[in-house]
Amino acid sequence: MNVVVCMKQVPESVTISGVPQGTASVRPQGKMVINPFDMYALEEGIRLKERYGGRVTAISMGPAEAEEALKEAIALGIGEAVLVCDPILEHSDTLATSYVLARCIERLERPDIVICGRQATDGDTGQVAPQLAEQLGLPFLSYVSRIEDISDGRLTAQRLVDEGHQVVQVSLPAVISVVKEINEPRLPSLRGLMQAKKAEIPRWTAPDLGLDVSKVGLDGSPTRVVNVFVPQRSQQGQMLEGSPESQVDQLLEKLRDAKVI
């Protein structure tokens, strides 16, 4: 089994005060962490390796600092890692990002499964995984909550959908995105931490991957962010005062007036 996990480094939080109204780009300060959803993707990749043997490689596209995140992945038990890093890739949207990740994956030993997190907590789009599948010409399964079986070149998995769960079968190789329900990520081991310390993370640039530069970065991205702002609360809220009985009665009256109950 050959597994690739796509992971991204994201800010742990954004401080709203640092974002003036009407700016087109956000520069969140503070600690950078592995996108929380990618922790589940990494864990699942490591479990697949433990169960079926083979290799698991983490890849990330990002600035030089993202190397730290990849080292954290190695500390968890990911065997190898690659950082795709080139200033020309800055400001890539999901289409451009998925193009770059696809070309990167094509450089690696052909994977059976590519695992992504459900979404990254910065852009919150959840688009890279399905678009990556498209760019690789592979099938895609979103919101996977359990891998049930892998055999005869097929993956059987449970996925979370609006109605509950589905059991779906997909032919391999395939791209999947995973939700939190799938596992409980482990902590790094001492041995892992040692390995991470020594690890040399290869850095691939746009020329290394033979990228078409018209398809990456700001110029290669069909979308533009034109404004970023702090959401305004449209309605002024009302506190209901008095005894609990009176609070409840006022509330019910409001809801009845609004014809919602």
Partner 1 sequence: MNEVWIFAEQKDGKLRGVSHELATEGRRLADSLETGLAAVCLGHNVQGVDQLVALGVDRVYLLEDPVLADHNEDVYTTCLVDLVRQHSPQVLLAGATTLGRSFIPRVAARLETGLAANCTGLEIDPQTRSLLQTRPCYGGTLMATVVCPEKRPQVATVRPHVFKKGPSDASRQGEIVRVDFDSSSVTSSTRLIDVIEDMGEKVKLEEADIIVCGGRGLGSPKNFDMLSELAEILGAALGSSRPPVDDGWVPYAYQVGQTGKTVSPKVYFACGISGAPQHLAGMQTSDIVVAINEDPKAPIFDIATYGIVGDLFKIVPLLTARLRQANA
Ligand X SMILES: Cc1cc2nc3c(=O)[nH]c(=O)nc-3n(C[C@H](O)[C@H](O)[C@H](O)COP(=O)(O)OP(=O)(O)OC[C@H]3O[C@@H](n4cnc5c(N)ncnc54)[C@H](O)[C@@H]3O)c2cc1C
Ligand Y SMILES: Nc1ncnc2c1ncn2[C@@H]1O[C@H](COP(=O)(O)O)[C@@H](O)[C@H]1O
Choice between 36 and 126, CB closer to ligand X: 36
Residue 139 lies near ligand Y (rule: CB under 6 A): no
- DSSP secondary structure string, 176-200? EEE-GGG--PPPPPHHHHHHHHHPP
- The site partner of 135 among partner 1, ligand Y, ligand X, none (C-beta below 5 to 8 Å per kind) is partner 1
Residue 121 lies near ligand X (rule: CB under 6 A): yes
Choice between 28 and 36, CB closer to ligand X: 36
In order of 32, 45, 114, 178, 188, the CA distances from 54 in angstroms are 30, 11, 14, 20, 20
Q: Tell me whether strands 2-6 and 55-61 are parallel, antiparallel or unpaired.
A: parallel
Residue 165 lies near partner 1 (rule: CB under 8 A): yes
- The site partner of 6 among ligand X, ligand Y, partner 1, none (C-beta below 5 to 8 Å per kind) is ligand Y
Q: How far is the CB of 76 from ligand X (least distance, A)?
A: 18
- Burial class of residue 147 in the structure, from the number of CB atoms within 10 Å of its CB (0-12 exposed, 13-18 middle, 19+ buried): buried
Distance CA 235, CA 92 (A): 36
What residues from 63 to 102 belong to the interface with partner 1 (CB under 8 A)? 93-95, 98
Residue 37 lies near ligand Y (rule: CB under 6 A): yes
In this structure, what is the dihedral angle of CA atoms 36, 38, 41, 43, given to the nearest 10 degrees?
-60
Residue 11 lies near ligand X (rule: CB under 6 A): no
| Dihedral sign of CA atoms 127, 17, 234, 249 in order | positive
Q: What is the DSSP letter of 37?
A: H
- The site partner of 41 among partner 1, ligand Y, ligand X, none (C-beta below 5 to 8 Å per kind) is ligand Y
Residue 120 lies near ligand Y (rule: CB under 6 A): yes
Q: How far is the CB of 39 from ligand X (least distance, A)?
A: 10
Binding site for ligand X (CB under 6 A): 36, 121
